[in-house]
């Protein structure tokens, strides 16, 4: 690949770091304080799944849906006719999180990231009334995508109202996307799998969300075999992935993404408690990747945001703070020494 440089504006400055979404514990103010204090260039609205159903990523996004509701069954979240206790709890916690974020982003100017589960992971996780995943019904998938687009639009408007100086970045969490494309999502019985969804249909639903966001959209997947080409065609501004799961076969697609101006949010720092190496060492694999792709070192800091490999919900509070600070130092090392 030629030694090309990219020429793309992202809403965060070069050498930025961020997180993926979840944080440990259940204190919204503490989480918002940690995230905004650690990540000046690209802070985000934390998720606190330890609080229970409704604070998990599926429940939180189910609470955002427009004119679609869900409740908790022993098997997971199921679509309901009307909002019940579980919907109210999800919305209440999201309101608490937004209150905390607003408190700690007074005067914030610049990028701010918020998350929702993407349409395909939502369709694989939400059950229809009979107990089968919405993924089993193309009409249900279309309804879910439309409801999610409307709900996300309202959520982003609320964030922009509360933090008027923010350029809001929407992250769609799609850990099940590859399984949906490959036809490996199991049915309720566990004995069969749902049919693979046509790539054009998958891309179209993602594009619906990109258009609804009216701003930059990043898709995150901490699963192997992220479909880089499909995501680019859907119009995303950035792709977030776990560097340790990358294979050589995906490198060409990554090179094309970078040359096309797509940002890479690279999970280079472990998401659970471990001894952290020096920050420059944590992103050694990123520099190596750049060399192999023949990309200009000068483009590294503007193309890459350093993040933990996945959410930090499984980490200790002390490690979560250390990991975010480590990401900031690692991103700075990429900016200072791209070679």
Which phi and psi (to 5°) does residue 5 adopt?
-115, 155
pTM score, whole prediction: 0.95
Of 249, 200, 208, 207, the closest CA to residue 226 belongs to 249
Decide: 172 and 61 in contact? Cβ < 8 Å.
Answer: no
For the stretch 205-248, pLDDT in tens is 999 999 999 999 999 998 999 999 999 999 999 999 999 999 98
Tokens found for residue 332: 């700075």
Query: pLDDT band at residue 337, thresholds of 50, 70 and 90?
Result: confident
Query: pLDDT band at residue 338, thresholds of 50, 70 and 90?
Result: confident
Instruction: For tokens 């399984």, name the residue.
Output: 179
Of 108, 129, 2, 122, the closest CA to residue 60 belongs to 122
For the stretch 64-77, pLDDT in tens is 999 999 999 999 99
Cβ-count burial 258-276 (b if 16+ within 10 Å, e if not): bbebbbbbbbbbbbbeeeb
- pLDDT value at residue 8: 57
> For residues 117 and 171, what is the distance between their CA atoms, to the nearest angstrom?
8
* pLDDT at residue 2 is higher than 80: no
Q: CA-CA distances (angstroms) from residue 298 to 3, 15, 47, 291, 303? A: 10, 11, 34, 12, 9
- What residues form DSSP beta bridges with 306? 17, 266
> For residues 90 and 126, what is the distance between their CA atoms, to the nearest angstrom?
15
DSSP class of 127 = B
In angstroms and rounded to an integer, the radius of gyration of the C-alpha atoms of the chain is 19
The predicted model gives 179-189 an average pLDDT of: 94
Contacts of 338 (CB under 8 A, 6+ apart): 287, 290, 297, 298, 300, 301
- pLDDT value at residue 114: 98
For the stretch 255-302, pLDDT in tens is 999 999 999 999 999 999 999 989 989 999 999 999 999 999 989 999
């Amino acid at each position: 690949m030629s030694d090309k440089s990219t020429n793309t504006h992202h809403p965060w400055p070069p050498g930025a770091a961020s997180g993926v979404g979840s944080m440990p514990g259940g204190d919204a103010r503490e989480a918002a304080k940690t995230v905004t204090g650690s990540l000046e260039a690209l802070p985000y609205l934390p998720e606190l799944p330890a609080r229970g159903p409704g604070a998990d990523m599926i429940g939180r996004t189910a609470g955002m849906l427009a004119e679609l509701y869900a409740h908790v069954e022993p098997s997971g979240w199921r679509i309901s006719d009307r909002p019940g206790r579980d919907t109210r709890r999800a919305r209440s916690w999201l309101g608490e999180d937004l209150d905390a974020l607003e408190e700690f982003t007074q005067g914030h100017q610049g990028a701010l990231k918020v998350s929702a589960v993407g349409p395909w992971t939502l369709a694989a996780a939400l059950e229809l009334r009979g107990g089968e995943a919405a993924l089993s019904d193309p009409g249900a998938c279309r309804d879910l995508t439309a409801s999610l687009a409307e709900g996300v639009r309202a959520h982003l408007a609320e964030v922009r109202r509360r933090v008027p100086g923010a350029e809001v970045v929407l992250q769609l969490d799609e850990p099940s996307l590859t399984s949906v494309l490959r036809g490996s999502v199991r049915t309720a019985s566990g004995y069969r799998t749902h049919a693979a969804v046509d790539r054009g249909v998958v891309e179209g639903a993602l594009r619906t969300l990109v258009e609804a966001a009216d701003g930059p959209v990043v898709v995150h997947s901490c699963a192997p075999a992220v479909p880089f080409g499909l995501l680019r065609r859907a119009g995303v501004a950035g792709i977030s992935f776990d560097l340790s799961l990358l294979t050589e076969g995906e490198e060409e697609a990554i090179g094309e993404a970078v040359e096309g101006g797509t940002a890479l949010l690279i999970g280079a720092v472990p998401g659970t408690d471990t001894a952290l190496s020096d920050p420059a060492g944590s992103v050694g694999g990123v520099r190596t990747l750049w060399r192999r792709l023949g990309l200009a070192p000068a483009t590294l800091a503007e193309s890459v945001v350093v993040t933990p490999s996945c959410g930090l919900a499984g980490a200790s509070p002390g490690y979560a703070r250390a990991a975010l600070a480590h990401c900031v130092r690692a991103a700075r090392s990429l900016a200072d020494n791209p070679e």
